[in-house]
Every structure is written in structure tokens, then in C-alpha cells.
Amino acid sequence: MEITPSIHVKDLTRQYGALTAIHKVNFSVNPGEVVGFLGPNGAGKSTTMRILSGIMSATSGSAWVGGICVAQNPHEVKRKIGYMPENNPLPDDMRVVEYLRFRARLKEVPGRKLRASVQEAMEICDLARTARRKIIGTLSKGFRQRVGIADALLGNPEVIIMDEPTIGLDPHQIQGIRKLIDNLRGKHTVILSSHILPEIERSCDRVIIINRGRIVATGSSAELREEFLPGNRFSLIVEGSDTDVAICLAQRGLEASILESTPLADNRSQLILRVENEGDLGSQLIQALGKHKDFTLHSIAPRVPNLEEIFLAATKRSWEETIETKPKITA
């Protein structure tokens, strides 16, 4: 067999009383991958992460981290995981370096490597010069997140799990954290959760979309785009009527449909086109629409669906599926 996946999850289910937080979740993550866990609030992201890190037990199903079963050998699994929980709890009365040394000792970093590994984690997270001796309670939110990440990095774990690492940060800080995650790529397997879509799209190799406790879609954002919103999309602004544009495109042999039309000022309107043809569509469209007596083309831009649209489409589809399956059972 080829390489053992860093994380392998099979039919994982967790119930809180009558509520099913996650239902038969299956996925696996290869070593060195950065995977984003995406889902609305209450979708089951944190539950899955907590089960993986061994804090919580699953109702049924199993999870393996680095080839070791979490339920059977939680102690060994914890050596392989660096976990940063949601809201990143830290003791407010300790100094950064004290806290990290304490954590390193808890994580069984050997005594002679202790100082070096704490220093390394602080340097990766840019804490070494600025916040080394500061009291954690006085740190800004961005620095607190860095301390949390530095803590997750201690002991050089195989897998790093971060639950909402960028929650409540400003754009500069988010960028900083993103760079930091980029640095981890290849060295560690990283799983992070978020409901902030652009962040996931930029920092993750692969996305797992989870909604209402079920995995709705997995893949890179390009694959997801192909699956949920296929075809090439263009956004154009024209002066003239929509029907003329459609007729003109049909005459030129372009299989295009107008998905949306928003009227703008001065008899202009913004159109969103979906074109099925292959090849260099941009220039074909410009040639087709550029010189025409009935309307004037003002601008044309390819429109790549962002993760937000994919996410909405995927979660919408999962809603429809769950609603559709129910009548089938009764019928």
C-alpha cells in the first residue's frame, strides 16, 4: 500500500442526546496537506476536531491519526497532535515564554531540547522578539492567536488541528496567520476550520464542506467549482438590450446563456454569462460582441466563482437532498 494517511476517519458519528452533531463522516488527509474544514455554525466542525484530538469520544465510527486509532490509543495519538481549540483559551496570568515552556514540558519535549524548541516555535510565530516576556492577559488578540499556534507547534507534532484560528482578527492579522500556515505546508499536516471562506480558499490545498453533520463536498476549490458550478462564467457590461446580445452570441456559434441581468444607469446592464464552449473564450467573446450596431460592449471580465458561491451551492444542494430523501422514506 502507498503512504498511510495522516488522518483517516470512517463513519464517525457523535450524538448529544437526541441531537446528532455529526453523522457518518468519512474523509482522509494525506501527510503535508493543508485542509480546510468549512461549514456554517453548528455544522459539526468543532465536534469532529475534538474527537480527532481525543478530548471527546465518538458515539460510533473510528478515527486514525498517523495510523493509530484514536479510541484505542488516545495517549499515543496526543503525541502526534497539536490542537488549538476554538477561542484559543490561555491562562491570563502567565508570561508567554513561561506558558510555552510549561506546555512543552507537558508535551514531553525532552529537557535539553526544551529551550530550543520553545524558541523555535516563538520564532515561527514571530513572538520571540516582540512578546516573549509579556503577560498573556495583556496581549492583543492577534498575539494571543500566535501564542495558541506556537503552542500547537511545540513538540513538532505530525498533525496540527486549529479550530477557527483567525476568528476575530483584523485583515492584517489574518494575512499574518495565513503566511504562518503557508510556512507549515509540507512539514505538518494541518487541519483548520473556519466559516470565513476567502481565508480557507487561499490557505488550503483541499476543502471539506460540512453541513448539518454531513460531509457535503470535498476537493480543491477548482474541483469543487467544476462539480457545483460548472462552465465558464463572464461578467460584462453592455449598453443595449439583453436579447440582442443573446442573438449575436448564438449567431457566432457560442453556446452561452444569460444567468443574470442587472440593469444599471444610462441604459446599461450588467450580464452574467455562462459559456459552454472550450478554448480561448475571452477573445472570442470580445470579437463577437466588440463591434455591433445594436449594442455597445463596455467591459468584459472572466468571473471565477469564489468559494462562497460554491459553498452556498453545496449547502443548498445538501438541504435539498435531505428534504428530498424524507418523503421517499414515507412514500
Interacting residue ranges for other proteins, rule: CB under 8 A: 50, 53-56, 75-76, 78-79, 81, 83-85, 87, 89-94, 103, 106-108, 151
- Smallest separation (angstroms) from other proteins to the CB of 20: 20
| Smaller CB separation from other proteins, 94 or 272 | 94
Residue type at position 80 = K
| Smaller CB separation from other proteins, 189 or 315 | 189
Strands 34-38 and 189-194: parallel
- Smallest separation (angstroms) from other proteins to the CB of 177: 18
How far is the C-alpha of 247 from the C-alpha of 241, rounded, in Å? 10
| Smaller CB separation from other proteins, 45 or 78 | 78
Q: Going by C-beta distance under 8 Å and a sequence separation of 6 or more, which residues neighbour residue 306?
A: 197, 198, 201
- Smallest separation (angstroms) from other proteins to the CB of 77: 9
Phi, psi of 37 (to 5 degrees): -105, 120
Q: What is the largest CA-CA distance in the chain?
A: 80
The 8-class DSSP code of residue 284 comes to H
- Smallest separation (angstroms) from other proteins to the CB of 47: 13
| Through-space distance between the first and last CA atoms of the chain, rounded to whole angstroms | 44
Task: Yes or no: say if 219 and 200 are a contact pair by the CB < 8 Å rule.
Answer: no
Q: Going by C-beta distance under 8 Å and a sequence separation of 6 or more, which residues neighbour residue 224?
A: 207, 209, 217, 307, 310, 314
- Smallest separation (angstroms) from other proteins to the CB of 21: 16
| Smaller CB separation from other proteins, 44 or 54 | 54
C-alpha cell at 38: 468549512
- Smallest separation (angstroms) from other proteins to the CB of 33: 21
- Dihedral of CA atoms 120, 121, 125, 126 in degrees, nearest 10, equals -40
- Smallest separation (angstroms) from other proteins to the CB of 78: 4
How far is the C-alpha of 46 from the C-alpha of 127, rounded, in Å? 27
How far is the C-alpha of 143 from the C-alpha of 145, rounded, in Å? 5
| Smaller CB separation from other proteins, 50 or 146 | 50
| Smaller CB separation from other proteins, 78 or 214 | 78
C-alpha cell at 42: 453548528
93-109 burial string, b = 16+ CB within 10 Å, else e?
ebbbbebbbebbeebeb
- Smallest separation (angstroms) from other proteins to the CB of 232: 45
| Smaller CB separation from other proteins, 84 or 122 | 84
| Smaller CB separation from other proteins, 109 or 127 | 109
